[in-house]
Chain A
């Protein structure tokens, strides 16, 4: 068993070196694909992390119609009954005023605004936390339907635009990666096809002396896997070095209050995914080729 396995590995490597030019060109295609996949993963996973941060911090501010503050508990119950609402927190007009004063940058400003305490312009406000950012639009619309609510505010159009842009990035990147994967699979498939053709005599002999089908196919599958893995080595190294470099260079900050994902162990997961993708792409390319050109016919 082990001897046979070792033999397939050896034959697989021989196959690669026998058609080194072809193998390298296929590995290059896999490499380019994986570099793009790596880049895509690093960017989208960081953006995804950022969206989760945004989504988790998204809350809706529901301003109560003037004079309805006394009924705030009933309004809270109405809002809590909406699907997707995690929690509600009522702030009285006084609390809202205090909060506003607290958030002013200087003591002078705080003092200035304090003058209006007796003529408080704020209304009662219910802060609504959501279970997920995906529910934002739905929950906002339901709250607006409540008669005692005067005005509803959330992150607004910017939040929606950001979420939509991120969705588009994910979709476009996904399509690009899928297309590149198909191209890489096709190139590996072609390389293995040529290898099979160049080893027609050996295959004929193997078949005639009674080698099992799996035995005939295995070296070509191994060869595909080797090509795929060869193509993944540089992307893995590039991903690790580039991410560490970018992380150090940006001091771990993506922008504003958003942070890049810590390199450890994140980048090694990415490298692992790239290696595995290379192997899968190589295996699929060779598997399709082997199924087509090494089919036992009668």
Chain B
């Protein structure tokens, strides 16, 4: 569960990114966070991911107050949150299997558990047959699937996808959102999709939080007209 109460963020250079944001997201919810460039949505993600701390207010994520999180506790906190970005960020010299396994290796998972879990998530993202392929042998959509597989390999409670369809055509974008819906259902993961692409919101209606100039300007339930 995510509970954001009166959160404001002002960067050291004086830029005000968020003003008194209030937001509640329940476990296993699927939420779009929509806003234009510079609206503050990236700052919100950074706060949720433990990269930034609120200047004021309180951000509780999985029961943890992010603002009071000690440096040494950040890694463990992040294991509960998966992050996917627009540019996939795969390791080019590692196979699909190795890319996904990497996320488990670095948190000291056992080899046997890694093998089982990587196969499981590759099946989930429908890339079992590409396990030995390298990223440059895959399409953009497939690469994003690998990135998603890597992000959920540690079974995070929350998956944040920052513009996951930004580099994809509408058909592939559709497939990625369908995949995220599947993960939301099968893995019971809370999904937060940050986007400025209202098309995907229309095609896959869910709760949508709109941010502009650091303020939440709308919090619409599934199916509400944009």
Contacts and interface: CB of A to CB of B under 8 A. Distances in A.
A205 B151 CA distance: 9
A203 to B, nearest CB: 10
A265 interface: no
B154 interface: yes
A248 interface: no
A298 B150 contact: no
B226 interface: no
A213 B105 CA distance: 14
Contact of B89 (A3, A4, A205): A205
A209 B71 contact: no
B51 interface: yes
A212 B73 CA distance: 9
B38 interface: no
A118 interface: no
A3 B106 CA distance: 11
Contacts of A213: 71-72, 75
A5 B83 CA distance: 27
Contacts of B150: 205, 209
Contacts, number: 58
Interface residues of B, number: 28
Contact of A209 (B72, B74, B103): B103
A213 B76 CA distance: 10
B75 A210 contact: yes
Interface string A1-12: 001100100000
B154 A209 contact: yes
A212 B75 contact: yes
Contacts of B113: none
Nearest to B102: A205
B108 interface: yes
Nearest to B46: A298
A296 B53 CA distance: 13
Contacts of A201: 89, 91
Interface of A: 3-4, 7, 201-202, 204-213, 215, 296, 298
